[in-house]
Amino acid sequence: MAKTNSLKEFLGDLPFTAEFDWMLRSRNRARKDHYNLSRLQKSLPAARAVVEPIAKKAKPGRKVLFFATLHYWIEQSAYLGLTLAGLGHKVTLLTLPYSEWHKEKDNFTQRQRILHTRDALSALSPLIEHASLLDLRPATVLPAILQADIKEISLWDAQYTLMREEVDMNDPSDRALYDLRIKRNTFAAEAAFEYLQSNRPDVVLIPNGLILEMGIVFRVARYLGIDAVTYEFNDQREQIWLAQNSSIMQQETDYLVDVRCSLPVTDEMFERVADLENARRGARVWGKSKRLWQYVSSQGAAETRKMLNLDERPVVMLAANVLGDSLTLGRDIFAASMTEWITKTVQYFSRRTDMQLVIRVHPGEKLVPQAKSMGTVVREALTGLPGNIHVIGAEDKINTYDLIEIADVGLAYTTTVGLETAMNGRPVISCGQTHYRGRGFTLDPNSWDEYYAILEKVLADIPAHQLNEKQIEFAWNYAYRFFFEYPRPFPWRLMNFWDDLAVWPLERVLSEEGLAQFKDTFDFLVNEPFTWK
């Protein structure tokens, strides 16, 4: 294996070796590389044939630069790009043909990936122009702001890859990962900076927009004053999250609150939220999702108290997130990290024996065993846990919604459990930059001094800090808007893309039926103003 890698590294430095090998040998062989667009390549000629006559009749739209990296994003972007072209937009698909964002790949393999991508996407022409980021000429100088962005995003990349917040620059492995991300993000920034200035689009469309080169291209576009739309997926099929001129992973919902939360909550809306909450409480899937938010059904408050051996002292519930999830990166306010917040909070409650602290490790940790557990963070904070502190592991047979019922006070970083706790009338201290913070139904410290002062005040008189009827109603209103209006209809989720494409082929998506469901979303993706039906 080492010899093969050494040979490829040697050949990769020689001009035209990868190209000659591709033309003479590799092009027509079955691909063994993880980066594989063969299925896409076979499907695109027929897909383009569907769109071409529709595009000819469409009114001219916007000039869209669509950036995608990693083979699964590129697969989906090809079809979304065709859809936008069918609606009259002039689309350029800019790809970065990487498969391993956390590993260095030899130049020979990388050059062949460029060729494979070019072949796979050639059928998009003339509807879509394709360019590879790796073929672009990078700028020679970057503004200081973008250099700082590179460092910030590279650190997030390392945290995301390692699934822990601590990146030890003295550890050779951690440092090598960080340096690789610096190298790749610097190149992406320089290439995008030069390209976007020379080929200024009306809008840049980018998945995620927070981490990896996706985050870098977003930052470059915004620095240059170019509108950028980012998108990601929740747990429901036929839905998309999208954001205009912010990373969707930051979940900025001010526009939603300003326009929608002034409207009343009807009985039907209330019942829909309640149905979702009851499904989660009952450990059932809901809607078009296959995800279980809990792995054990509600057992009731009394039984849960008994299982945890809780007494009559007030209960404070701390709901943790999964470390490394891109929904938690860059959300720190007064704590340097969620780890620091949990550590200091546990240490605080070790002295507050008049209270019981229940720490709910996120059930999602079960799906990412490589992530550093918040249970580990808690146990590292103290030498032995006192009797008033209880840690509930990801796989423990305890339902979070029973804990919400038991809790007198909630503590949250960015998890929606904080919102759901407020919906039950409990005071919630919001400690990370989460989408529901500052909406009038949480307590929102901005410094450690404020955090401890709020804790002291609330714990001194918990009944006085219960939410009033108006606050609870607004929390339910916000929950409806976030769960049911923030996501937009969209035909193809990233996961199970090919299954969704079988249900929603391009001819159906671009039909009267499909456009009735998805046209508004396609408009929002090219930065048309948000509207609601």
**What pLDDT, on a 0 to 100 scale, did the predictor assign at position 2?**
37
DSSP reduced 3-state for 66: strand
Count of C-beta atoms within a 10 Å radius of residue 37: 23
The structure tokens listed for 383 are 């030498």
**pLDDT at residue 11 above 60?**
no
Q: Cβ atoms within 10 A of the Cβ of 264, count?
A: 8
* Of the candidates 43, 17, 30, the residue with the CA atom closest to the CA atom of residue 498: 43
pLDDT digits (tens, 9 = 90+) for 149-177: 999 999 999 999 998 888 999 999 999 99
Reading the block at residue 181, the tokens are 């991300």
399's tokens:
């339902």
Rounded Cα–Cα distance for residues 452 and 166 (Å): 24
**pLDDT over 70 at 6, yes or no:** no
Lowest mean pLDDT among 206-220, 367-381, 406-420, 479-493: 367-381
Mean pLDDT of the region 296-319? 94
Residue range 263-298, pLDDT digits in tens:
999 999 999 999 999 999 888 888 888 887 778 898
Cα–Cα distance measured from residue 93 to residue 67, given in angstroms and rounded to the nearest whole number: 6
In degrees rounded to 5, what are phi and psi of residue 479? -60, -40
All structural domains of the chain with their residue ranges: 2-139+202-253+488-525, 261-485
The verdict on whether omega for the bond into residue 489 sits within 30 degrees of 0, i.e. cis, is no
Least confident of 36-40, 65-69, 252-256, 282-286: 282-286
- pLDDT tens for each residue of 231-252: 999 989 999 999 999 999 999 9
pLDDT of residue 19: 76
Which pLDDT score, from 0 to 100, does residue 370 have?
A: 73
Which of 354, 400, 424, 411 is closest to 378 using CA atoms?
A: 411
Measured distance CA(222)–CA(365) in Å, rounded? 34
Strand partners, 315: 356
pLDDT in tens, 446-503: 999 999 999 999 999 999 999 999 999 999 999 999 999 999 999 999 989 999 999 9
The rounded percent of the chain whose pLDDT value lies above 90 is 78
> What is residue 111's predicted lDDT score, i.e. its pLDDT?
87
| pLDDT given for residue 12 in this prediction | 57
Query: What are the DSSP E strand ranges found in 152-238?
Result: 203-207, 227-232
The answer to whether 250 and 453 are in contact (CB under 8 A) is no
Which CATH architecture best describes the domain 261-485?
3-Layer(aba) Sandwich (3.40)
DSSP state of 476: H
Average pLDDT, stretch 327-345? Answer: 92
Euclidean distance between CA atoms 219 and 163, whole angstroms? 23
Q: Residue 16 pLDDT more than 70?
A: no
The reported pLDDT for the residue numbered 410 is 98
pLDDT value at residue 374:
82
pTM of the model: 0.92
- Per-residue pLDDT, averaged over 69-93, amounts to 97
pLDDT tens for 393-448 read 888 899 999 999 999 999 999 999 999 999 999 999 999 999 999 999 999 999 99
pLDDT at site 4: 46
Strand order in the sheet with 409-412: 389-392, 356-360, 315-319, 409-412, 428-430
What is the full DSSP assignment across 452-475? HHHHHHHHH-TGGGS--HHHHHHH
